[in-house]
Structure 1
Amino acid sequence: EEIRIKIKSMFKHAYDSYFYNAFPLGNLKPLSCRGGKFELSRIKMLTLIDSLDTLYILNNHTEFVRGIERLREFDVINEGFFRQDENVSVFETNIRALGGLIGAHFLADEGLDVNINDIWEYDNILLKLMIDLGDRLLPAFNTPTGIPYGTVNLIHGVPAGETKIASLAGAGSLSLEMEVLSRLTGNGVYGRVGRKSVEGLWRRRNAETGLVGKHVDVSTGHWVESVSGIGSNSDSFFEYLLKYSILFPEHSGFWIMFQDVWSGVEEHVKVGVWYGDVDMARGNKGGSRTRFESLASFLPGLQVLLGELGEASKSLNAFYAVRSKYNFLPERFDYEAWDVEGGGGQHPLRPEIYESAYLLGRALKTINPLEDAIRDIDKYTRTPCGFASIENVVTKKLADDMPSYFLSETLKYLYLAFDDDNKIHDKGAGWIFTTEAHPIKWLP
């Protein structure tokens, strides 16, 4: 109980700081105590949208409802919430904004505190916003391969001169949110474009190794970066193949695609407990970079979903040893030299290792090793105006940024790790988290 109270207090400090200093802008700058736009998705109120379902999970239903009403008000004033003349990352907007609306919509449907139910009734306003946003993302998928452009303007469509180069994770991690939008609306177009993108990437895997690259030309389907790995620019592609196959088993092709590419990763990328970058045609026979990336620490969580609890424990122990050296995971770490890779010492408050520890703890019914993580975040990153990313894990110098995922993911996973009785954990509830930790309920 004491730990949950502590995390709620940390969330309140971060959330209130955003409202006092940044709202209605998308992001908080916690050192300069002002607002800013998240450069990859310059949408107003992005931190609010991303953190709505965390409010619900932390049982702050009053602020959850107030947040929904703030979105409704701007939707009316602006004559369409997402009628914003901004170029945005399709990937980041999908996982943060569309995913945030989806998670909050599902939870609003679950019911609220009795005293709120007496005076407020959910009327599907978030579904209205989802449809508006989904429609504004669709032009990005209009390519010869079905693999979407990385950027779209929310009013004008794909910007003139937009690059044809897209990342594996960026183009291959849209399927969950798009399929859910189709299920909720009865309009199959969203799910179709999401599936087509994933299938387009999978079909271009290497015939020998089964590996996929990190960047592709959306017009030709040619890999422009043939490096293969599970970290940056790749991670959530694998995560979404598996999670989609769990949530929507009738699309059996996703499980087949996952098994295909993941067996390639296990055979041609893995070295010991590490998964370094390799050439997609040669695999680790052509040499493996001894780099561990913080983003790759989603791996133990994926292994938990596969039922590979022994492997998940080995992976998490290895990654946690790196975290323990610096109190935080650096962005890039050389596991052979056992030191931060040059220029890779940042820690932007990422959640992946805590997500994995939470999932493994739930599976094994063991005590989580996360109390020290909570203490370190509070000790080293708290500022008078929120929590700040770390510029250097060795010196603990801070950076003027509090990513919205700190509220939507990092604090959510830390809280759930210590809350067995949370509604999300109800037996048979059928929840699964998106890559931004937004809960999706199984839809028949």
Structure 2
Amino acid sequence: MLSVGRLAVSLALAGSVFAGPVQNPHIVLPPSARGHRDTVQQIFTESYSAYKQFAFGHDDLSPLSQGFSDGRNGWGATIIDAMSTMHIMGMDDLFQEAVNFSSKIDFSKSQTRDKVSVFETTIRYLGGLLSAFELSDQKFPVLLEKAKEVADKMAFAWVGSNDIPFGFLDFSTNTPNFGRTSNIAEAGTLALEWETLSKHTGNQTYANLALKALSHIANLPAPLPGLAAQGINPATGSFVGGYITWGGGSDSYFEYLIKHARLSNTDDNLFADTWHTAVDSSIKNLLRTSTVGNHLYLADLDDSRNIVHVGSHLACFHGGNWLLGGRLLNNNTIVRIALDLVDGCWNTYAGDATGIGPEVFAYISSDGDFTGDVPPNADQLAFYNEHGYYITAPDYILRPEVLESNFYAYRVTGDPKYLDRAASAVDSFNKFLKTPTGFAGINDVNDVNTSKIDDTESFWFAEVLKYLYLTFDDPNHISLDNFVFNTEAHPFQAPRAKHVYGTPTGGIKHPTKPFSLKKGPPLPAISPNAKLPQPIKVPPQL
């Protein structure tokens, strides 16, 4: 078993030498995969048919009341978010209908009274339009025109010489919400979409706006090496507080560091190096093992520098992201740990009554059970002693992240256990989420008689069903070596991979604020009884 010190050394020595292919080139799908893929497509068809019947033109279906909601400014978020999935599934008629709808969207103002989120509008609308434009071989220039139209409005979020955009805008007056602080996910999850817009318009200004925000965050002195604080003030460009998490509010900033490096093939090592530093720092400081089941997880760190033993469905993207980056850096240590993180997140699906993972959960490690809230009660302790985690927020709102990482794990290893897990999730969705008019979230994943949530978010179409479909599809279709997915699962065409991502020596320098943990030793990455993941079995070509 690797010690913490040896683990850190292995990371440094395994630095970016030659990028490896992301996908295992020798995957052979079993005959059962096609049937599971068709079942996923049927779920999409049923879900979208209900949307068309009760909510077409609006943002989200309300399947229980057979109505709709417009939480994404009323521009038809589900239609735009579903377009890339439609194209991948070969649903040409639906795709053409969506293109026609897109051509008539009025982005000059919000169709509701709500402010416009730069982050959400970027990942759903801008990302969806651009991905559909590329996937359809640029046959529909109106998609690019509409992407430019909405980006031109969002550009008002950058004020003066500010690197960090304000998070919300009034599209009617082009006025940012000046009084609101932001977070690194909102400000740092724009690069893939805006640089793709520059690629197709020839106007580098779009990419420059997003990249100056991403670069600014990466260059700020961080509480831990590479691990930016969650909060940020657009007016000053400074961090707000010192909370560190791979969960919501921070998640996709870390995701986009390595994905921007891959999509752009930039020679600026800042992005790949900062990602590598963040992963290395997380292994040294945040990686924990549950006392029951030896499940590996990434803890949070609060403003008082206490380890917080929490996990979330949102944070479970990290396994897939580490697999992508680990293969690009050809760092098998990162890949092995990533696979164990994938297993830990999947355990939150396997452990409860419905076979679907909860929104938020918690752990107990050798250094405590602090969650920043109340300690686990008797029922939670009993659940933990059986499953190695306990539930703190039991709802499921159709999130994709566990299945996203499962998809990456299958494409990287070819191990059929990931197909079995995806098939199990499909069965659970059909059993517990299906309604007479579409699919809905549930309020308690550990209750087979749970009530449902009257909302079908657009990411159900963009992410959950796409990742499941592609898990069972020909791995050469939308290969991870040819496409980079934005955080809403819209694939962008990537150039041939570089030979090296990041600093070849693995020696990474990064500004860091003076820091020490309040609890435990300085490098409590893995407890003495931890069971490290075994090396993956891949062909010699990898």
2:208 to 174, 192, 196: 192
Percent identity for Structure 1 against Structure 2: 28
Q: Indicate how the Cα distance of structure 1 residues 292 and 328 shifts in structure 2: closer, same or farther if over 3 A, else same.
A: same
Deviation of 1:54 after TM superposition, in Å, equals 0.4
Q: Which moved more, 1:347-356 or 1:101-110?
A: 101-110
Correspondence list, 1:413-432, <5 A? 413-420=467-474, 423-425=477-479, 430-432=482-484
Gaps in structure 2 of 5+ consecutive residues: 1-33, 290-295, 328-333, 365-380, 497-542
Q: Shift in Å at residue 83 of structure 1?
A: 4.1
Tell me the residue number matched to 1:113: none
Q: In the alignment, which residue of structure 1 is the partner of 2:31?
A: none
Larger Rg: 2
Identify the range of structure 1 (86-95 vs 432-441) with the bigger mean alpha-carbon deviation.
86-95
Deviations 1:75-125 (A, max 9, x none): 4xxxx4454355211111100110100110011117xxxxxxxxxxx2411
Q: Are residues 341 and 144 of structure 1, via their aligned partners in 2, closer, same or farther at CA, if it must alter by over 3 Å?
A: farther
The residue aligned with 1:118 is none
Question: Which residue in 2 is equivalent to 1:302?
Answer: 321
What is the CA distance between 1:208 and its match in structure 2? 5.5
- Spell out the pairing of 1:237-248 with structure 2 (5 A cutoff): 237-248=253-264
Give the CA deviation at 1:195: 0.7
CA distance in 2, matches of 1:341, 1:84: 37
Range moving further from structure 2, 84-93 or 327-336: 84-93
Query: 1:422, 1:209 → 2: CA distance?
Result: 37
- Once residues 37 and 260 of structure 1 are traced to their aligned partners in structure 2, the CA distance between those partners, rounded to angstroms, is 40
Residues 1:225 and 1:389: Cα distance change in structure 2 (over 3 Å): farther
- Give the distance between the partners of 2:110 and 2:77, measured in 1 at CA: 13
TM-score by length of 2: 0.74
The within-5 A match list for 1:134-213 is: 134-142=151-159, 145-159=162-176, 162-206=178-222, 209-213=225-229
The one of 108, 133, 146 equivalent to 1:105 is: 133
Gaps in structure 1 of 5+ consecutive residues: 111-121
- 1:264 is matched with 281
RMSD: 2.0
Match for 1:324: what amino acid?
A: A
Q: Partners of 1:85 and 1:7 in 2: how far apart?
A: 32
Q: Deviations over 1:209-243 (max 9, x none)?
A: 44311111111233323210101111111110010
- What one-letter code is carried by the residue in structure 2 that aligns with 1:301? G
Q: Given the alignment, which residue of 398, 402, 407 partners 1:358?
A: 407
Contact map agreement 2:37 2:473 (CA 8 A) in 1: yes
Give 1:298 deviation, angstroms: 0.7
Q: Compared with structure 1, are the counterparts of its residues 378 and 23 closer, same or farther at alpha carbon in structure 2 (3 Å cutoff)? A: same
User: Separation in 2 of the partners of 1:169 and 1:422?
Assistant: 31
Q: 1:220 aligns with which of 211, 223, 236?
A: 236
**Shift of residue 151 of structure 1?**
0.5
* 1:129 alignment counterpart: 146
**Cα separation, 2, equivalents of 1:251 and 1:89:** 31
User: 1:356 Cα deviation (Å)?
Assistant: 0.8
Kindly tell me the number of residue pairs found equivalent between the two proteins. 418
1:109 to 1:5, Cα distance in 2 relative to 1, 3 A: same
What residue number does 1:114 align with? none
* 1:166-185 alpha-carbon deviations (Å, 9 max, x no partner): 01111110111011111111
Per-residue CA deviation, residues 299-356 of structure 1 (Å, 9 max, x unaligned), is 11112111243222211111111111121111110122535444x1111111111111
Aligned residues of 1:54 and 1:407 also touching (Cα < 8 A): yes
Aligned residue for 1:25, secondary structure, equals coil
Amino acid at match of 1:332: V
Name the counterpart of 1:373: 425
Residue number in structure 2 paired with 1:409 = 463
Which structure would you say has the larger RCO, counting Cα contacts within 8 Å and 6 or more residues apart?
2
Q: Distance in 2 between matches of 1:385 and 1:256?
A: 47
Question: Paired residue for 1:11, among 18, 32, 44?
Answer: 44
Structure with the largest fraction of helix: 1
TM-score, normalised to structure 1, is 0.89
**Residues 224 and 281, structure 2, Cα contact 8 Å, conserved in 1:** no
Partner of 1:440: 492
